[in-house]
Amino acid sequence: MPRPVTLFTGQWADMPLAELAPLAQEMGYDGLELACWGDHVDVVRAADDPSYASGRRELLARHDLSLHAIGNHLLGQAVCDRIDERHQAVLPPRVWGDGDPEGVRRRAAEEMKTTARAARALGVDVVSGFTGSSIWHALYAFPPTDQAFWKRGFDDFAERWGPILDAFDAVDVNFGLEVHPTEIAFDVASAQRALEAVGHHPRFGFNYDPSHLAYQGVDYVKFLRTFEDRIFHVHMKDVWWGRGDGTVGVFGGHTDFGDARRFWDFRSVGRGDVDFEEIVVALNDIGYEGPLSIEWEDARMDRVHGATESASFTRSLDFAPAGGAFDAAFARDDG
């Protein structure tokens, strides 16, 4: 059967889950991918209080919604990042503490381990999220950057995330990195290097999101076929590129989303340039049976309108794989 269509709640965390759940049902969703911020999931409570975890599930069930994954991008980002004042705005006070960068990174790492236990308590097998990166700031190689510099960044990632991935393994939960600029992996080559850095740890894979690959010029369908056994979760998010007036390039020109000068911008699913038909074919080819989770972002559109049409578009596009060869009916049966 077609895959469940779910909504990632990260862009809706200003709404209490008790209000968002009935709205998600009205918008046509089968379930949710709950963000670990706002009041959607408190990972400490979920990990340690069975009544809290069951209460989250029961709230969704009252609105005929299932829970397939949780996302903890904000905490994951802080594990490897160069910490600055921006992180204080997105981290809980218990993790920010006094703001000392190394302290923030270590507390974030411990809370990611807690996130694994929270996922298990909530009955889900996947946590999507970010890793952060100690070397993203040096993306453009000037002053000249040698491979030893890049390697230190991947070594740092492995050192910090190895124990986290072991904690995920202990509770039988996968971590799916959303391959994304600012992360340790942002294209096919860096994703391969990240896998190698953690020794192809069985709990490390990817939350596939074509929008972050497409505008860079990365073959986003090839990504699926390259990492077919590591696609733990899928985000449906659209983007257009090759727009603008020629004054802003692929790095964004320090402009805001929705600025007409931009070369690229996120769009409601089905309104951008991503070929989702090719993605669905590839997902069928690699045997992905998980949800299609819509991460809705479009600076030019009302989000309820956009999320509603995105659910409908995704549902109409998805299809179950073939049960056998289409030309098998032509075979002779001489028995």
The CATH number given to whatever domain includes residue 139 is: 3.20.20.150
148: containing domain? 5-319
Mean pLDDT of 207-227: 98
With b meaning 16 or more CB within 10 Å and e meaning fewer, what string describes 125-144? ebbbbbbbbbbbeeeeeeee
* Run of H or E including 250: none
Question: What value does the mean pLDDT of the chain take?
Answer: 96
Within 13 Å of residue 106, how many CA atoms lie on the same side as its CB?
7
Mean pLDDT of 117-137: 98
282 contacts: CB under 8 Å, gap ≥ 6: 221, 224, 225
pLDDT in tens, 105-118: 999 999 999 999 99
Asked if 279 and 210 touch (Cβ cutoff 8 Å), the reply is yes
DSSP tag of 68: E
pLDDT at 326: 60
CA distances from 232 to 33, 94, 257 (A): 13, 29, 28
Asked if residue 183 belongs to a domain, the reply is yes
Longest dimension (CA), the chain: 79
Q: Which of 128, 101, 107, 112 is nearest to 163 (CA)?
A: 112
pLDDT at 332: 62
Number of domains in the chain: 1
DSSP tag of 25: H
Which ranges of the chain would DSSP assign to H, the alpha helix?
A: 17-27, 43-48, 50-61, 73-80, 85-88, 93-96, 101-122, 147-170, 188-197, 211-214, 220-226, 276-286, 303-317
Pairing mode, strands 292-294 and 5-8? parallel
For the entire predicted model, the pTM comes to 0.95
pLDDT in tens, 248-267: 999 999 999 999 999 999 99
Question: Is the C-alpha dihedral spanning 162, 167, 173, 177 positive or negative?
Answer: negative
pLDDT in tens, 256-306: 999 999 999 999 999 999 999 999 999 999 999 999 999 999 999 999 999
Asked if residue 335 belongs to a domain, the reply is no
Asked if residue 325 belongs to a domain, the reply is no
The answer to whether residue 44 scores a pLDDT higher than 90 is: yes
* Beta pairing partners, 240: 265
pLDDT at 333: 64
Asked if residue 327 belongs to a domain, the reply is no
The answer to whether residue 328 scores a pLDDT higher than 70 is: no
Asked if residue 238 belongs to a domain, the reply is yes
Q: Residue 164 and residue 219: Cα distance in Å, rounded?
A: 30
Mean pLDDT of 154-165: 98
Asked if residue 76 belongs to a domain, the reply is yes
Asked if residue 185 belongs to a domain, the reply is yes
pLDDT at 319: 80
Asked if 40 and 34 touch (Cβ cutoff 8 Å), the reply is yes
Asked if residue 235 belongs to a domain, the reply is yes
